[in-house]
Structure 1
Amino acid sequence: MRASRLLSELLLLQNRGRMTATELAAELEVSVRTVYRDIEALSASGVPVYADRGRAGGYQLVDGYRTRLTGLTEEEAQSLSLAGLPIAAAELGLGTVLAAAQLKLYAALPAELRDRAGTVAQRFHLDVPGWHRGIESPPRLGELAESVWHSQRIRVRYRRWGDQEARRTLEPLGLVLKAGNWYLAARAAGGGEPGVRTYRVSRIVDLTVLDERFERPADFDLTEYWREWSAEFEQRLYPRIAVVRMSAMARDLVPFYCGAVGVGAVHAAGRAPDENGWLRVELPVESTVAAVGQLLRFGAEIEVLEPEDLRAQVADAIRRSAALYG
């Protein structure tokens, strides 16, 4: 543990130049006293690190000194695929591994490229979850990730929709983070339910990692599987089409209320708004009960034209709401 920390301190000084003991302590989540001891250890081992005293002082390496101890471990190399998702990496138990990998990667770059990489990191940031929601933190996510890494079977108790529970022995093939929610792609062990299925990780009530390895299918592509599954899921989620008229404000609200499906419908309208700024759109909606709530979110900025039964239900809900408010 200490050797890893000493290397991290060395790489921090190499990448960033002068740093105070307080800055190093905050970066590595240790005490300032620990940093003092570590710097002494680095000096004793021949690393040319020296201290500038005073308010603007700090530790730095002699100009031109560079360490070549920058080889990535297997875990660090794997973690780099999550370089833009530090929260997700932490949830998978790879937070410190990712930080070490990034330090080593920066240290291996020539000074010009290292400066450019740092500039990019200061100007662009990837924030995956939608507004008003963070990344969920299922309690057994780390163990689940380990089973995916090592191709180990798992036994789960899973809460299905309607709060019915099912027990499964699964072969976990991949984890996907979608809009702050974790999903597991897995197939049933022992020739149970055919094909790969998707499970919401937060609905796994109990998990046991078994001491049983399985052979991962050579032709399984997680990205392609997720693309196909997502398309099928959207078709099941939005089985109906509502023909509506939308005001300009309603169209501005579509990304928040209807997501990418709604945005696609507006773009596909293929016509200009009328003289009042309203646009006729064929909007995919959920089953009737859910669709009513979905459409009511727009208030008076939308009118349902078809189908007739959905228009009637929305009108009835508006009348009952008006009655509540007198």
Structure 2
Amino acid sequence: MSQRDTLFRHLAILQMLPRAPHSLSTTTIGLRLEEQGYGMTPRSIQRDLEKLAEHFPLQCHKESKPYRWNYVANYNSDLPALDTVTALTLVLAEESVRGLLPKVAMDKISYKFQSARKHLEGLQGNGFSQWSQRVRAIPNGKSLIPAEIKPAIWEGLTDALLNHYAVDVSYLSRFKGELKHYTLHPLGLVTRDSSSYLLATVNEHEDVRQFALHRFRKVKPSASLYRAQPGFNLQQYIDQGAFGFPLAQEPVKLVARITNSMAWLLAETPLSRDQSLSEPDAEGWVRLEATVPNDQQTQWWIMGFGASIEVLEPRTWREQILQQAREIVARGA
């Protein structure tokens, strides 16, 4: 085998190894190498790993066979070197997701952002050294501080999700305020605004439920056999309005009168693919028509525009908004 082939094989091994506490067995490494066209005996793989460990912070766990390998937990790789455009993209991404992802998730990739900032700050010969005064990402609406999630909880739930095993958990019920104990079968993970949710079936039930990650108190692998849901589709689950507090499964036709400034906003960022906006009438109002989910989230979005929108249809939405307006006026009387 040529030195070139050996180099690429070593790079393939380095790219697949995880950081502690996760690890890969030499058997799994061999299977992944085989998928990339490298036929290796277990002994040859072990020799490769031992050579690489002389130059990289690798750990070998010999408690049982096959041996397991990983990087040390705090290893930060600087290869390949960052270019300026990639560095700027990373600092923009950090600004965007800082208020969305839980701290424990941000900590996992913080070294990438640190490297990007150092790269830009080191470019004294151009304006990129002043990026911190020139780059900002702001949320559309009020941004809340992300709920705190314990690192062990994040590790346990994400590992169970990715490796398909059940977990026994202690979970703080929001409604009853008491600690509940479940066996969960993870199906998905969703970050929404400042909170993250695990989607899972519970015990022997088949329905998919949502669990806020910050309410977990304990997580450990379960002796129960993992029950997969082959027909579950995360995007379909979201599209059906699961995170919008649905009032009904079927969408509704929204018809409303809106101000010209709101029409400008929706012309550039439409509410739906079938949205239509009329020309302004004599009083400057624009007629909006769009198919939208029948959920509370859409109603809250509408009410956020206050007097800039008048809902005509659905009639039930119009009545609900008017009733809330009457209650607000009554409190101020």
TM-score normalised according to structure 2 size: 0.50
Aligned equivalent of 2:199: 185
Which secondary structure state, in structure 1, belongs to the residue aligned with residue 223 of structure 2?
Answer: strand
Q: Counterpart in 2 of 1:58?
A: none
Q: Look up the match of 2:86.
A: 120
Shift of 1:233: 2.7
SS of the residue aligned with 2:275?
coil
Residue matched to 1:310: 317
Counterpart AA for 2:148: S
State the AA in 2 paired with 1:301. Answer: S
Equivalent position to 1:243, from 250, 255, 258? 255
What is the 5 A alignment of 1:51-130?
71-72=14-15, 74-76=17-19, 100=76, 102-103=77-78, 105-106=79-80, 114=81, 116=83, 118-124=84-90, 125-126=92-93, 127-128=96-97, 129=100, 130=139
**Mapped pair 1:279 → 2:293:** no
Contact 2:168–2:220 (8 Å) recurs in 1 = yes
Instruction: Specify the code of the residue in structure 1 equivalent to 2:317.
Output: L
Structure 2: where are the runs of 5+ without partners? Answer: 1-9, 24-71, 101-138
Cα shift at 1:291: 7.1
1:237: how far off?
1.8
- Once the two structures are superposed, the pairs formed by residues 138-287 of structure 1 within 5 Å of their partners are 138-139=149-150, 140-148=153-161, 151-159=164-172, 162-163=175-176, 166-188=180-202, 192-194=204-206, 197-202=208-213, 204-210=215-221, 212=223, 214=225, 217=228, 225-234=233-242, 237=246, 239=248, 241=252, 242-251=254-263, 263-265=270-272, 267-275=273-281, 276-282=284-290, 283-286=292-295
1:307–1:161 distance in 2 versus 1, CA, 3 Å: farther
Question: Residue 276 of structure 2 aligns to which amino acid in structure 1?
Answer: G
AA at the equivalent of 2:186: P
3-state SS of paired residue (1:144): helix
CA contact (8 A) 1:158 1:203 kept: no
In the alignment, the residues of structure 1 paired with residue 169 and residue 182 of structure 2 have an alpha-carbon distance, to the nearest angstrom, of 5
Shift of 1:302: 0.6
Q: Larger % of helix: which?
A: 1
Which residue number corresponds to residue 93 of structure 1? Answer: none
Specify whether residues 97 and 246 from structure 1 end up closer, same or farther in structure 2 by C-alpha distance, changes over 3 A only: farther
Mapped contact 1:159–1:203 kept (Cα < 8 A)? no
Deviation at 1:318, TM superposition (A): 3.0
Q: Distance in 2 between matches of 1:294 and 1:238?
A: 15
Count of matched residue pairs: 220
Offset of residue 232 of structure 1: 1.9
- Residue identity (%): 17
3-state SS of the aligned residue for 1:121? helix
Would the alpha carbon gap of residues 97 and 141 (structure 1) be closer, same or farther in structure 2, given more than 3 Å must change? same
Gaps of 5+ in 1: 1-67, 80-95, 107-113
Alpha-carbon distance in structure 2 between the residues aligned to 1:177 and 1:201: 10
From the superposition, tell whether residues 314 and 152 of structure 1 become closer, same or farther in structure 2 (CA, over 3 Å): closer
Secondary structure of the corresponding residue to residue 230 of structure 1: helix
- Structure 1 distance, partners of 2:324, 2:216, is 37
**Are 1:151 and 1:214, in contact at CA under 8 Å, matched by a contact in 2?**
no
Q: Which moved more, 1:301-310 or 1:270-279?
A: 270-279
Q: Would the alpha carbon gap of residues 138 and 296 (structure 1) be closer, same or farther in structure 2, given more than 3 Å must change? A: same
In 2, are the aligned partners of 1:156 and 1:169 still within 8 Å (CA)?
A: yes
For residues 147-168 of structure 1, what are the alpha-carbon distances to aligned partners after superposition, in whole Å with 9 as ceiling and x for unaligned?
Answer: 4455443222445564476532
Confirm or deny that 1:297 pairs with 2:304. Answer: yes
Tell me: CA distance 1:220–1:313, structure 2 relative to 1, closer, same or farther (3 Å).
closer
How has the CA–CA distance of structure 1 residues 123 and 281 changed in structure 2, closer, same or farther, with 3 Å as cutoff? same
SS in 2 for 1:227: helix
CA deviations over 1:22-69 (Å, ceiling 9, x no partner)? xxxxxxxxxxxxxxxxxxxxxxxxxxxxxxxxxxxxxxxxxxxxxx99
In 2, the alpha carbon distance for the partners of 1:186 and 1:243 equals: 37
Q: CA deviation at 1:170?
A: 1.7
- Let me know the Cα RMSD of the aligned residues: 4.4
> Residues 309 and 172 of structure 1: is their aligned pair in 2 closer, same or farther, counting only changes over 3 Å?
closer
Residue 227 of structure 1 deviates from its aligned partner by 0.6
d(CA) in 1 for partners of 2:222 and 2:275? Answer: 54
